[in-house]
Amino acid sequence: MKLVTYVLDANTPREGGRAGVLLNDLILDLATLGRWAAAREAAFARLSPGSEASLPSTLLALLQEGASAWERLRIAFALASQTEPAHLQSQEGLAFPLEQVHLRPPIPTPPTIRDFFAFEAHVRNARARSGLEVPPQWYQIPVFYFSNTSALYGHDEAIPYPRHSQALDYELEMAAVIGREGQDIAAEQAADYIAGYMIMNDWSARDLQLQEMAVQLGPAKGKDFATSFGPWLVTPDELQPYRRGSGADERFDLPMRARVNGVLLTEANFQEIYYTFPHMIERASQHVRLRPGDILGSGTCGGGCLLELGQERHRWLSVGDVVELEIAGLGLLRNSIVASPHHPE
Protein backbone atom coordinates (compact mmCIF):
# COMPACT_ATOMS: atom_id res chain seq x y z
CA MET A 1 0.00 0.00 0.00
CA LYS A 2 0.91 3.64 -0.48
CA LEU A 3 -0.11 5.77 2.49
CA VAL A 4 -0.31 9.55 2.51
CA THR A 5 -1.09 12.56 4.63
CA TYR A 6 -3.22 14.99 2.66
CA VAL A 7 -5.28 18.18 2.87
CA LEU A 8 -7.91 19.54 0.50
CA ASP A 9 -6.97 23.17 1.14
CA ALA A 10 -3.30 24.10 0.87
CA ASN A 11 -3.81 26.72 3.61
CA THR A 12 -4.81 24.09 6.18
CA PRO A 13 -2.55 24.31 9.27
CA ARG A 14 0.32 21.82 9.36
CA GLU A 15 -1.34 19.75 12.07
CA GLY A 16 -4.56 19.46 10.04
CA GLY A 17 -3.51 16.75 7.60
CA ARG A 18 -5.50 13.51 7.34
CA ALA A 19 -4.32 9.97 6.60
CA GLY A 20 -5.19 8.39 3.29
CA VAL A 21 -4.35 5.40 1.13
CA LEU A 22 -3.79 5.49 -2.62
CA LEU A 23 -6.07 3.33 -4.76
CA ASN A 24 -5.15 3.81 -8.42
CA ASP A 25 -5.68 7.58 -8.87
CA LEU A 26 -7.89 8.04 -5.81
CA ILE A 27 -6.96 8.98 -2.26
CA LEU A 28 -9.21 7.17 0.23
CA ASP A 29 -9.57 8.89 3.59
CA LEU A 30 -8.55 6.34 6.21
CA ALA A 31 -11.05 7.18 8.95
CA THR A 32 -13.93 7.41 6.49
CA LEU A 33 -12.80 4.20 4.82
CA GLY A 34 -12.97 2.47 8.18
CA ARG A 35 -16.54 3.55 8.82
CA TRP A 36 -17.55 2.65 5.26
CA ALA A 37 -15.99 -0.82 5.55
CA ALA A 38 -17.51 -1.47 8.98
CA ALA A 39 -20.98 -0.98 7.54
CA ARG A 40 -20.33 -3.54 4.80
CA GLU A 41 -17.93 -6.15 6.10
CA ALA A 42 -18.68 -8.28 9.14
CA ALA A 43 -15.05 -9.40 9.52
CA PHE A 44 -13.95 -5.76 9.68
CA ALA A 45 -16.61 -4.86 12.24
CA ARG A 46 -15.52 -7.74 14.49
CA LEU A 47 -11.98 -6.34 14.57
CA SER A 48 -13.19 -3.01 15.93
CA PRO A 49 -16.31 -3.61 18.04
CA GLY A 50 -17.90 -0.45 19.34
CA SER A 51 -15.33 1.77 17.70
CA GLU A 52 -16.71 5.07 16.44
CA ALA A 53 -13.70 5.54 14.11
CA SER A 54 -12.52 2.07 13.17
CA LEU A 55 -9.43 3.42 11.40
CA PRO A 56 -7.40 6.36 12.73
CA SER A 57 -7.28 9.73 11.03
CA THR A 58 -3.46 10.03 11.07
CA LEU A 59 -0.67 7.71 9.97
CA LEU A 60 1.16 8.17 13.25
CA ALA A 61 -1.92 6.89 15.10
CA LEU A 62 -2.10 3.93 12.69
CA LEU A 63 1.49 3.02 13.51
CA GLN A 64 0.91 3.45 17.23
CA GLU A 65 -2.19 1.22 17.21
CA GLY A 66 -0.15 -1.56 15.68
CA ALA A 67 -1.09 -4.91 14.16
CA SER A 68 -4.85 -4.78 14.73
CA ALA A 69 -5.16 -1.43 12.95
CA TRP A 70 -3.09 -2.72 10.03
CA GLU A 71 -5.35 -5.78 9.74
CA ARG A 72 -8.44 -3.55 9.66
CA LEU A 73 -6.80 -1.43 6.98
CA ARG A 74 -5.99 -4.47 4.83
CA ILE A 75 -9.60 -5.68 4.99
CA ALA A 76 -11.00 -2.23 4.22
CA PHE A 77 -8.58 -1.64 1.37
CA ALA A 78 -9.36 -5.03 -0.18
CA LEU A 79 -13.06 -4.23 -0.01
CA ALA A 80 -12.53 -0.82 -1.65
CA SER A 81 -10.36 -2.42 -4.34
CA GLN A 82 -13.34 -4.57 -5.36
CA THR A 83 -15.70 -1.58 -5.52
CA GLU A 84 -16.44 0.64 -8.50
CA PRO A 85 -14.53 3.96 -8.27
CA ALA A 86 -17.74 5.87 -9.01
CA HIS A 87 -19.37 4.36 -5.92
CA LEU A 88 -16.38 5.26 -3.75
CA GLN A 89 -16.48 8.86 -4.99
CA SER A 90 -20.20 9.06 -4.29
CA GLN A 91 -19.59 8.46 -0.57
CA GLU A 92 -19.17 11.72 1.32
CA GLY A 93 -15.58 12.30 2.43
CA LEU A 94 -14.31 8.92 1.25
CA ALA A 95 -12.50 9.28 -2.09
CA PHE A 96 -10.74 12.21 -3.76
CA PRO A 97 -8.91 12.31 -7.10
CA LEU A 98 -5.17 12.50 -6.47
CA GLU A 99 -4.82 15.71 -8.49
CA GLN A 100 -7.32 17.47 -6.21
CA VAL A 101 -5.47 16.94 -2.93
CA HIS A 102 -2.34 18.51 -1.49
CA LEU A 103 0.19 16.06 -0.06
CA ARG A 104 1.98 16.72 3.19
CA PRO A 105 4.89 14.63 4.53
CA PRO A 106 3.51 11.12 5.17
CA ILE A 107 4.51 11.44 8.85
CA PRO A 108 4.12 15.19 9.54
CA THR A 109 5.11 15.01 13.22
CA PRO A 110 7.57 12.12 13.72
CA PRO A 111 8.95 11.57 17.22
CA THR A 112 12.54 11.70 15.87
CA ILE A 113 14.49 11.92 12.63
CA ARG A 114 17.92 10.29 12.44
CA ASP A 115 19.83 10.84 9.23
CA PHE A 116 22.69 8.43 8.54
CA PHE A 117 25.82 8.63 6.39
CA ALA A 118 25.52 5.17 4.84
CA PHE A 119 26.70 5.40 1.20
CA GLU A 120 30.46 4.99 0.89
CA ALA A 121 30.56 6.72 -2.51
CA HIS A 122 28.98 9.87 -1.06
CA VAL A 123 31.42 9.99 1.84
CA ARG A 124 34.37 9.41 -0.49
CA ASN A 125 33.28 11.93 -3.11
CA ALA A 126 32.31 14.67 -0.68
CA ARG A 127 35.53 14.43 1.33
CA ALA A 128 37.66 14.27 -1.81
CA ARG A 129 36.38 17.77 -2.65
CA SER A 130 38.34 18.94 0.42
CA GLY A 131 41.33 16.70 -0.24
CA LEU A 132 40.35 14.26 2.51
CA GLU A 133 40.03 10.48 2.63
CA VAL A 134 37.26 8.43 4.23
CA PRO A 135 38.10 8.21 7.96
CA PRO A 136 38.69 4.64 9.15
CA GLN A 137 36.06 5.14 11.89
CA TRP A 138 33.36 5.38 9.20
CA TYR A 139 33.87 1.67 8.44
CA GLN A 140 33.44 0.76 12.13
CA ILE A 141 29.96 2.14 12.89
CA PRO A 142 27.02 3.68 11.01
CA VAL A 143 26.87 7.32 12.16
CA PHE A 144 23.93 9.72 12.17
CA TYR A 145 22.75 13.11 13.33
CA PHE A 146 19.33 14.21 14.58
CA SER A 147 17.33 16.48 12.28
CA ASN A 148 14.51 18.95 12.91
CA THR A 149 11.04 17.35 13.17
CA SER A 150 9.19 20.67 12.80
CA ALA A 151 10.46 21.87 9.39
CA LEU A 152 9.08 19.13 7.14
CA TYR A 153 7.63 19.43 3.62
CA GLY A 154 5.70 17.12 1.31
CA HIS A 155 5.45 16.58 -2.43
CA ASP A 156 5.01 19.78 -4.45
CA GLU A 157 5.36 22.02 -1.39
CA ALA A 158 7.55 25.09 -1.84
CA ILE A 159 10.86 25.25 0.05
CA PRO A 160 11.82 28.73 1.35
CA TYR A 161 15.44 29.56 0.57
CA PRO A 162 17.29 29.60 3.93
CA ARG A 163 18.32 33.01 5.16
CA HIS A 164 22.06 33.71 5.52
CA SER A 165 22.96 31.06 2.94
CA GLN A 166 24.14 31.29 -0.65
CA ALA A 167 24.87 27.59 -1.19
CA LEU A 168 21.63 25.61 -1.17
CA ASP A 169 21.92 21.92 -2.12
CA TYR A 170 19.63 18.91 -2.48
CA GLU A 171 20.40 15.43 -1.14
CA LEU A 172 18.82 12.30 -2.66
CA GLU A 173 18.03 9.79 0.08
CA MET A 174 15.67 6.97 1.02
CA ALA A 175 14.00 6.90 4.43
CA ALA A 176 12.54 4.10 6.54
CA VAL A 177 9.76 4.59 9.10
CA ILE A 178 9.70 2.54 12.31
CA GLY A 179 6.44 0.64 12.77
CA ARG A 180 6.74 -0.79 16.28
CA GLU A 181 8.57 -0.08 19.48
CA GLY A 182 11.90 -1.74 20.22
CA GLN A 183 15.24 -1.35 21.95
CA ASP A 184 18.60 -3.03 21.35
CA ILE A 185 17.26 -4.53 18.13
CA ALA A 186 19.55 -7.02 16.37
CA ALA A 187 20.20 -6.28 12.71
CA GLU A 188 19.01 -9.75 11.70
CA GLN A 189 15.52 -8.97 13.03
CA ALA A 190 15.46 -5.24 12.32
CA ALA A 191 13.59 -5.37 8.99
CA ASP A 192 10.51 -6.55 10.91
CA TYR A 193 10.37 -3.15 12.62
CA ILE A 194 10.02 -1.15 9.37
CA ALA A 195 6.50 0.06 8.50
CA GLY A 196 7.46 1.52 5.14
CA TYR A 197 9.81 3.54 2.99
CA MET A 198 9.73 6.94 1.29
CA ILE A 199 11.92 9.38 -0.62
CA MET A 200 13.81 11.97 1.43
CA ASN A 201 15.42 15.25 0.39
CA ASP A 202 17.81 16.44 3.10
CA TRP A 203 18.13 20.07 1.98
CA SER A 204 21.52 21.50 2.92
CA ALA A 205 22.94 25.00 3.22
CA ARG A 206 26.55 24.10 2.50
CA ASP A 207 28.11 27.39 3.59
CA LEU A 208 26.35 27.26 6.97
CA GLN A 209 27.22 23.57 7.33
CA LEU A 210 30.90 24.22 6.60
CA GLN A 211 31.01 27.02 9.15
CA GLU A 212 29.44 24.85 11.87
CA MET A 213 31.50 21.74 11.26
CA ALA A 214 34.76 23.69 11.34
CA VAL A 215 34.31 23.66 15.11
CA GLN A 216 33.58 19.90 15.06
CA LEU A 217 29.92 20.21 15.92
CA GLY A 218 26.87 19.81 13.69
CA PRO A 219 25.42 19.85 11.18
CA ALA A 220 22.66 21.98 12.68
CA LYS A 221 21.59 25.24 11.00
CA GLY A 222 23.08 23.94 7.77
CA LYS A 223 20.35 21.29 7.74
CA ASP A 224 17.39 22.03 10.02
CA PHE A 225 15.51 24.57 7.89
CA ALA A 226 13.83 21.98 5.64
CA THR A 227 13.50 18.26 4.95
CA SER A 228 11.13 16.84 2.33
CA PHE A 229 9.48 13.42 2.46
CA GLY A 230 7.09 11.67 0.12
CA PRO A 231 5.19 11.48 -1.99
CA TRP A 232 3.86 8.57 0.09
CA LEU A 233 4.88 5.89 2.55
CA VAL A 234 5.27 2.58 0.69
CA THR A 235 4.75 -0.60 2.70
CA PRO A 236 7.54 -3.23 2.54
CA ASP A 237 5.45 -5.80 0.65
CA GLU A 238 5.40 -3.50 -2.40
CA LEU A 239 9.21 -3.56 -2.56
CA GLN A 240 9.55 -7.35 -2.49
CA PRO A 241 10.25 -7.56 -6.27
CA TYR A 242 13.28 -5.31 -5.71
CA ARG A 243 14.57 -7.10 -2.59
CA ARG A 244 18.13 -8.41 -2.63
CA GLY A 245 19.50 -10.24 0.41
CA SER A 246 17.82 -10.78 3.75
CA GLY A 247 18.26 -10.18 7.44
CA ALA A 248 21.03 -7.70 8.19
CA ASP A 249 22.02 -7.65 4.51
CA GLU A 250 18.58 -6.65 3.15
CA ARG A 251 18.95 -4.25 0.23
CA PHE A 252 16.73 -3.16 -2.65
CA ASP A 253 17.63 -2.85 -6.32
CA LEU A 254 16.11 0.62 -6.73
CA PRO A 255 17.43 3.08 -9.35
CA MET A 256 17.67 6.60 -7.91
CA ARG A 257 17.64 9.82 -9.95
CA ALA A 258 17.70 13.56 -9.31
CA ARG A 259 16.84 16.33 -11.74
CA VAL A 260 17.05 20.11 -11.43
CA ASN A 261 14.82 22.03 -13.83
CA GLY A 262 14.41 18.83 -15.84
CA VAL A 263 18.16 18.20 -16.21
CA LEU A 264 19.31 14.78 -14.96
CA LEU A 265 22.18 15.26 -12.50
CA THR A 266 22.18 12.12 -10.33
CA GLU A 267 21.92 8.43 -11.22
CA ALA A 268 22.57 5.81 -8.55
CA ASN A 269 21.07 2.65 -7.06
CA PHE A 270 20.00 2.00 -3.49
CA GLN A 271 21.63 -1.45 -3.44
CA GLU A 272 25.02 0.32 -3.49
CA ILE A 273 24.47 1.31 0.16
CA TYR A 274 27.23 0.21 2.56
CA TYR A 275 25.21 0.16 5.81
CA THR A 276 21.71 -1.28 5.34
CA PHE A 277 18.59 -0.08 7.16
CA PRO A 278 18.83 -3.12 9.49
CA HIS A 279 22.37 -1.97 10.39
CA MET A 280 21.06 1.54 11.02
CA ILE A 281 18.21 0.29 13.21
CA GLU A 282 20.61 -1.82 15.28
CA ARG A 283 22.83 1.20 15.85
CA ALA A 284 19.99 3.65 16.51
CA SER A 285 18.29 1.34 19.03
CA GLN A 286 21.36 0.71 21.16
CA HIS A 287 20.45 1.64 24.76
CA VAL A 288 17.38 3.61 23.59
CA ARG A 289 13.79 2.97 22.59
CA LEU A 290 12.72 3.40 18.98
CA ARG A 291 9.05 4.33 18.66
CA PRO A 292 6.43 4.05 15.90
CA GLY A 293 6.87 6.96 13.51
CA ASP A 294 10.60 7.43 14.07
CA ILE A 295 12.32 8.14 10.74
CA LEU A 296 15.74 6.91 9.65
CA GLY A 297 17.34 8.49 6.59
CA SER A 298 19.89 6.59 4.52
CA GLY A 299 22.12 9.55 3.87
CA THR A 300 22.93 10.74 0.37
CA CYS A 301 23.55 8.22 -2.39
CA GLY A 302 26.74 8.43 -4.45
CA GLY A 303 26.62 11.53 -6.65
CA GLY A 304 23.37 12.51 -4.94
CA CYS A 305 24.07 16.18 -4.30
CA LEU A 306 25.68 19.25 -5.85
CA LEU A 307 28.50 19.18 -3.29
CA GLU A 308 29.74 15.97 -4.89
CA LEU A 309 29.09 16.98 -8.48
CA GLY A 310 30.92 20.28 -8.13
CA GLN A 311 30.16 23.76 -9.38
CA GLU A 312 31.62 22.87 -12.75
CA ARG A 313 28.64 20.52 -13.21
CA HIS A 314 25.90 22.70 -11.71
CA ARG A 315 25.67 25.88 -9.65
CA TRP A 316 24.10 25.93 -6.18
CA LEU A 317 20.31 26.00 -6.18
CA SER A 318 18.49 29.29 -6.68
CA VAL A 319 15.03 30.70 -6.12
CA GLY A 320 12.81 29.37 -8.90
CA ASP A 321 14.60 26.03 -9.31
CA VAL A 322 12.55 22.82 -9.31
CA VAL A 323 14.15 19.70 -7.81
CA GLU A 324 12.76 16.24 -8.58
CA LEU A 325 13.95 13.13 -6.74
CA GLU A 326 12.85 9.75 -8.05
CA ILE A 327 13.33 6.24 -6.65
CA ALA A 328 11.91 3.15 -8.36
CA GLY A 329 8.99 1.73 -6.39
CA LEU A 330 8.70 4.85 -4.23
CA GLY A 331 7.61 7.45 -6.77
CA LEU A 332 8.74 11.03 -7.39
CA LEU A 333 9.22 13.83 -4.86
CA ARG A 334 9.17 17.33 -6.34
CA ASN A 335 9.76 20.71 -4.67
CA SER A 336 10.33 24.23 -5.95
CA ILE A 337 12.55 26.83 -4.27
CA VAL A 338 10.91 30.13 -3.29
CA ALA A 339 12.24 33.27 -1.66
CA SER A 340 11.84 33.39 2.09
CA PRO A 341 10.43 36.63 3.53
CA HIS A 342 13.96 37.86 4.24
CA HIS A 343 15.80 36.39 1.25
CA PRO A 344 16.12 38.41 -1.97
CA GLU A 345 15.08 36.82 -5.24
Q: What is the pLDDT of residue 117?
A: 95
Task: Report the percentage of the chain scoring pLDDT > 90.
Answer: 86
Phi, psi at residue 30, to the nearest 5°? -65, -50
The whole-chain average pLDDT of the chain stands at 94
Instruction: Kindly indicate the confidence band of residue 47, based on its pLDDT and cuts at 50, 70 and 90.
Output: low
pTM of the model: 0.95
Residue 345 has pLDDT above 50, yes or no: no
Q: What is the pLDDT of residue 45?
A: 63
Residue 266 has pLDDT above 90, yes or no: yes
In this structure, the number of other CB atoms found within 10 A of the CB of residue 317 comes to 21
Q: What is the pLDDT of residue 150?
A: 95
Return d(Cα 146, Cα 219) in angstroms, integer.
9
Domain 2-104: assigned CATH number: 2.30.30
Q: Do domains 2-104 and 113-338 have the same CATH topology?
A: no
Burial grade of 57 (CB within 10 A; 0-12, 13-18, 19 or more): middle
Q: What is the pLDDT of residue 169?
A: 98
| Per-residue pLDDT reduced to its tens digit, 107-147 | 999 999 999 999 999 999 988 888 889 999 999 999 999 99
Return d(Cα 89, Cα 86) in angstroms, integer.
5
In this structure, the number of other CB atoms found within 10 A of the CB of residue 68 comes to 10
Choice among 13-17, 108-112, 177-181 with the minimum mean pLDDT: 13-17
Instruction: Kindly indicate the confidence band of residue 64, based on its pLDDT and cuts at 50, 70 and 90.
Output: very high
| Per-residue pLDDT reduced to its tens digit, 180-198 | 999 999 999 999 999 999 9
Residue 51 has pLDDT above 80, yes or no: no
Return d(Cα 267, Cα 314) in angstroms, integer.
15
**Superfamily, domain 113-338:** Fumarylacetoacetase-like, C-terminal domain (3.90.850.10)
Partners of 257 in the beta sheet?
A: 267, 326
For the chain, the structural domain boundaries read: 2-104, 113-338
The distance of Cα 257 from the centroid of its chain, to the nearest Å, equals 15
| Per-residue pLDDT reduced to its tens digit, 75-103 | 999 999 999 999 999 999 999 999 999 99
Residue 284 has pLDDT above 70, yes or no: yes
Task: Report the percentage of the chain scoring pLDDT > 70.
Answer: 96
